[in-house]
Amino acid sequence: MSAAGTGGTDTYEMVVGLEVHVQLRTRTKLFCNCSTQFGEPPNRNTCPVCLALPGSLPVLNEAAVELATKAALALGADVAEESIFARKNYFYPDLPKGYQISQFDKPLATEGQLIIGERADGSAIRICITRLHMEEDAGKSIHDRFNGLSAIDLNRAGVPLVEIVSDPDLRSSAEAGSYLRLLKQLLEYVDVSDLNMEEGSLRVDANISIRKRGETKLGTKTEVKNMNSFSGVERALEAEFARQVGILESGGVVEQQTLLWDADRGTVRPARSKEGSHDYRYFPDPDLPPLRLTHEWIGRLRDRLPELPDAKRRRFTDEHRLSPYDIDVLTASPRIAEYFEAVAHAHGDSKTVANWIMGEVLAVLKQTGLPIDRFPVRPRDLATLLDMVRDGAVSNTAAKRIFGIMVQTGELPAQIAEREGLAQVGDEGQLAAWVDEVLAAQSSEWARYRAGEKKLLGVFVGAVMKKSGGRADPKKVNQLLAMRASG
Ligand SMILES: [Zn+2]
């Protein structure tokens, strides 16, 4: 950090808690049978319940409870055997009932945690999850499409969400970024949401305050909203931190308020003033009985959780003996990890498989935007290709060309190798003929090599490979050259 002007940011530390809203992957809404399909014509996915017509009653969606509970268990949270749906009262045009059904004093789950890294002294950076509760989403106001008139789309009203609230345990924008990326990864592992940030399936609000380093008392916090990427969250926190430091340094007082992040300008601006939670006049929703989950039901869900990222990383370290970096890349997504393991089990050499997936496979996924579960090369066909390289049937260079064709056509590697004339030549007679031709053409270099200029070996190997159109088996070419040199 430079000395000028940053005295303030060295003196102060950032204290951040995050509220993450995650849309659950259900077919229907939280309290009615309307579809949750994104991108339908406005107000297509509505019914008397989510339009709040008089006399309609909510019925809780069991699938949503199951997904929310899985998310809570993955975070190591205590799932309550009884939780209560409450009405959060406020007026806004996108909220037809005049209240949102949420959970307040008895949420679905409390006291989870996420470990996001290690401090310099080796202790874990543990972020506590205060609570995880279920709630319904609101609709969407549209202000910019109808010549100054506002419109309302209630397709999203009633879509199931979980809100995951962390303690103010984060101390930098980088920690906030790590927390969000690891949380997203964990939720992808338990498959409770499509986590699509562009479609609003994962939304983040940040509470941020500052205090002098070494102080334990919390400062006045502001809430920053409207960030639609993780890097946006990091930039917004930096901007708000600098703003608060500026206020305190000039003798002012931070005002508790809600701010909106403006990504284009890189600044925050005030939204409406922050209401305290008492203004929502929460009370238990009389239309919904308490949500009761049995100990056995929760236990069954816990037993059925898939292997989580930490456990997978540990197992990959033991079973595949890869570097920490390789393991991070391969376990970033559960589907990549699954693909890797399928190829590795079929082929046998984990390191070779890891290199191919981190190189060739991820490059194609990045280029095409395809998800791995729609990748055209099946794991066992990739394993066959790697077997062919190991057995000397094709060179590594030829294998890359074959792989490129497999991606296009989905053909088997042996079929492509034969049609394209890429099979490696290991035939002694043919190889000897190529070697002799090269040595005849480069007789003076050959004499220098035999006189001790050993670095020329690569020149001869390269020339033979070129003469063979890349098909000569380089191992055997090396052996033949060694024999010629000693003969
Ligand atoms: Zn509905």
Q: 130-184, pLDDT tens digit by residue?
A: 999 999 999 998 888 888 899 999 999 999 999 999 999 999 999 999 999 999 9
Least confident stretch, 330-339, 345-354, 438-447, 468-477: 468-477
Would you tell me how many other CB atoms lie within 10 Å of the CB of residue 444? 7
Residue, of 373 and 381, whose pLDDT is higher: 381
- Per the CB < 8 A criterion, the answer to whether 308 and 189 are in contact is yes
What residues sit around ligand 1, an ion, with C-beta below 5 angstroms? 32, 34, 47, 49-50
CA of 103 to the centre of ligand 1 (A): 20
Spatial CA neighbour of 38 closest among 205, 159, 142: 159
CA of 36 to the centre of ligand 1 (A): 9
CA of 8 to the centre of ligand 1 (A): 51
Spatial CA neighbour of 137 closest among 38, 257, 228: 38
Mean pLDDT of 268-285: 75
Q: What's the pLDDT at 271?
A: 82
Spatial separation of the C-alpha atoms in residues 238 and 173, rounded to whole Å: 7
Would the pLDDT of 59 be above 70? yes
Strand partners, 22: 162, 202
Spatial CA neighbour of 129 closest among 107, 110, 116: 110
CA of 155 to the centre of ligand 1 (A): 8
Q: What's the pLDDT at 5?
A: 46
Mean pLDDT of 324-347: 94
State the DSSP H helix or E strand holding residue 398, giving kind and residue range, or none if neither.
helix 396-409
Mean pLDDT of 283-310: 96
Spatial separation of the C-alpha atoms in residues 193 and 22, rounded to whole Å: 7
Q: What's the pLDDT at 8?
A: 62
CA of 286 to the centre of ligand 1 (A): 19
Q: What's the pLDDT at 288?
A: 96
CA of 9 to the centre of ligand 1 (A): 49
CA of 2 to the centre of ligand 1 (A): 56
**The pTM is what?**
0.84
| Percent of the chain topping pLDDT 90 | 69
Q: What's the pLDDT at 9?
A: 66
CA of 156 to the centre of ligand 1 (A): 10
Label residue 367 exposed, middle or buried (CB < 10 Å: 0-12, 13-18, 19+): exposed
pLDDT digits 0-9 by tens, 174-224: 999 999 999 999 999 999 999 988 888 999 999 999 999 888 899 999 999
Rounded mean pLDDT of the chain?
91
Would the pLDDT of 352 be above 90? yes
CA of 48 to the centre of ligand 1 (A): 6
Would the pLDDT of 86 be above 60? yes
Q: What's the pLDDT at 272?
A: 62
Spatial separation of the C-alpha atoms in residues 448 and 485, rounded to whole Å: 11
Q: What's the pLDDT at 273?
A: 52
CA of 162 to the centre of ligand 1 (A): 18
Spatial separation of the C-alpha atoms in residues 251 and 297, rounded to whole Å: 56
Mean pLDDT of 223-242: 93
CA of 137 to the centre of ligand 1 (A): 12
CA of 50 to the centre of ligand 1 (A): 4
Least confident stretch, 26-30, 41-45, 380-384, 451-455: 451-455
CA of 19 to the centre of ligand 1 (A): 26
Q: What's the pLDDT at 24?
A: 97
Q: What's the pLDDT at 468?
A: 83
CA of 154 to the centre of ligand 1 (A): 9
What are the distances in angstroms from CA 351 to CA 290, 331, 389, 406? 52, 14, 14, 21
CA of 472 to the centre of ligand 1 (A): 67
pLDDT class of 360 with cuts at 50, 70, 90: very high
CA of 310 to the centre of ligand 1 (A): 39
What are the distances in angstroms from CA 317 to CA 50, 64, 310, 314? 49, 35, 11, 5
pLDDT class of 277 with cuts at 50, 70, 90: very low
Spatial separation of the C-alpha atoms in residues 181 and 230, rounded to whole Å: 8
Least confident stretch, 84-98, 262-276, 404-418: 262-276
Provide φ and ψ at 394, rounded to 5°.
-135, 155
Count of residues for the chain? 487
Would the pLDDT of 2 be above 50? no
Mean pLDDT of 384-394: 90
pLDDT digits 0-9 by tens, 103-140: 999 999 999 999 998 888 888 999 999 999 999 999 99
Spatial separation of the C-alpha atoms in residues 160 and 136, rounded to whole Å: 5
Structure tokens, 164: 């995951």
- Per the CB < 8 A criterion, the answer to whether 431 and 476 are in contact is yes
Spatial CA neighbour of 257 closest among 220, 222, 218, 227: 222
Residue, of 468 and 407, whose pLDDT is higher: 407
CA of 33 to the centre of ligand 1 (A): 6
CA of 140 to the centre of ligand 1 (A): 15
Q: What's the pLDDT at 7?
A: 52
CA of 163 to the centre of ligand 1 (A): 21
DSSP 342-394: HHHHHH--HHHHHHHIIIIIHHHHHHH---GGG-SS-HHHHHHHHHHHHTTSS
Residue, of 417 and 236, whose pLDDT is higher: 236
Would the pLDDT of 274 be above 80? no
Would the pLDDT of 487 be above 80? no
